[in-house]
Amino acid sequence: MEEYMLETRHISKAFGKQLAVDDVSIKVKKHTIYGLLGPNGAGKSTLLKMLTGLLRPTKGEIVINGHPWSRKVLKDIGALIESPALYGNLTAYENLLVHAKLLHLPDSRIQEVLNIVGLENTGKKKASQFSLGMKQRLGIAKALLDHPKLLILDEPTNGLDPLGIQDLRKLIKSFAENGITVILSSHILSEVKQLADYIGIIQNGKLRYEGKIDESQDLEKLFIDVVNKQ
C-alpha cells in the first residue's frame, strides 16, 4: 500500500520573476497531520493552492495517493484555502446543498457534516450573519462533504477565539483518527505543536526543515533557529 498521501517533487511557482515556491519536496504520510509553518509571504498558501489546482506549478510534480496530480485526484481532496467562499444569502444547509447537488451526494450527507462541525443548530440564519468561526466551520463542512482522504486547511484557526481554536483542534485530531490525512498551515506554533505529527518550515519559498515533532519539543526555538539561520 502507498505510504504517502501526498508528495511534492521539486515543485516551484513563479509569479513573474519571483519564485514564491522554490523547489519544494515534501512527503505527507497517510493518516498523519502535517503542519506547514513559515513567516508571512513564505509561500505556504501558494503551495497549498497548487495542491488543490487553484494554481499550476511552474515546475515539478505533485503525487496524491500514488497518482500524479490531475483533476481526477480532486475527488480525494477537501480544502479550505484562505477564507471560505460562501453564499451569504443562504443558510448553512443551503450552502452545502448547492455543493452536495454538484457532487451528486445524498442530502443526508449535509446533516452529517453539519453535525461534525457543530453547526447543526443554525437553522434559518444566513451565512452572511455568521461569526468568523461559524464561517470557518461551514468552510470545513464543505471540504468534508465528499469524504476526502486528504484535507487541506490554510490557517484554519484564523480569527477564532481560544475556545473555537480548541474545538477546531479536537475536530482536526478526530479527522486524523478517522483515517483522513491533514495538511494545514498556521502561524500559531503552540497550535501546531499540539496537532501535528510532522512539520515543514518554509521561508522565501524554500523548504528549510522537515521532521517529526512531539509535544515535548521546543517548536518556537526550532522555528526561530531555522528561520534565523538563513
Ligand X SMILES: Nc1ncnc2c1ncn2[C@@H]1O[C@H](COP(=O)(O)OP(=O)(O)OP(=O)(O)O)[C@@H](O)[C@H]1O
Q: For binding to ligand X (CB under 6 A), which residues are involved?
A: 15, 20, 38, 40-46
Residue with Cβ nearer ligand X (45 or 52): 45
CA distances to 29, 34, 143, 154, 163 from 180, in Å: 11, 12, 12, 16, 23
Residue with Cβ nearer Mg ion (169 or 187): 187
Shortest-Cβ-distance residue relative to Mg ion: 45
Least separation in angstroms between CB 153 and Mg ion? 11
Provide Rg for the chain, Cα atoms. Answer: 17
Q: CA-CA distance, 117 to 115, in Å (whole number)?
A: 6
Least separation in angstroms between CB 44 and ligand X? 3
Residue bearing cell 478526530:
174
Contacted by 38, from ligand X, Mg ion, none: CB < 5 to 8 Å by type: ligand X
Least separation in angstroms between CB 227 and ligand X? 12
User: For residue 134, what is the DSSP state?
Assistant: H
Least separation in angstroms between CB 4 and ligand X? 23
Quick one: how many helices (H) and strands (E) in the chain? 7, 11
CA distances to 116, 138, 184 from 32, in Å: 19, 23, 11
User: For residue 140, what is the DSSP state?
Assistant: H
Residue with Cβ nearer Mg ion (146 or 154): 154
- What does the binding site for Mg ion look like in residue numbers (CB under 5 A)? 44-45
Residue 109 sits at the vertex; the CA angle it makes with 122 and 100, to the nearest 5 degrees, is 90
Contacted by 88, from ligand X, Mg ion, none: CB < 5 to 8 Å by type: none
**131, amino acid identity:** S
Residue with Cβ nearer ligand X (140 or 202): 202
Contacted by 42, from ligand X, Mg ion, none: CB < 5 to 8 Å by type: ligand X
Contacted by 87, from ligand X, Mg ion, none: CB < 5 to 8 Å by type: none
Residue with Cβ nearer ligand X (40 or 178): 40
Q: Beta strand pairing status for 181-185 and 33-37?
A: parallel
Least separation in angstroms between CB 154 and Mg ion? 6
20, 3, 16, 36: which is closest to 155 by C-alpha?
A: 36
Q: CA-CA distance, 162 to 180, in Å (whole number)?
A: 24
Least separation in angstroms between CB 92 and Mg ion? 25
CA distances to 70, 121, 126 from 51, in Å: 10, 33, 30
Residue with Cβ nearer ligand X (44 or 135): 44
Contacted by 41, from ligand X, Mg ion, none: CB < 5 to 8 Å by type: ligand X
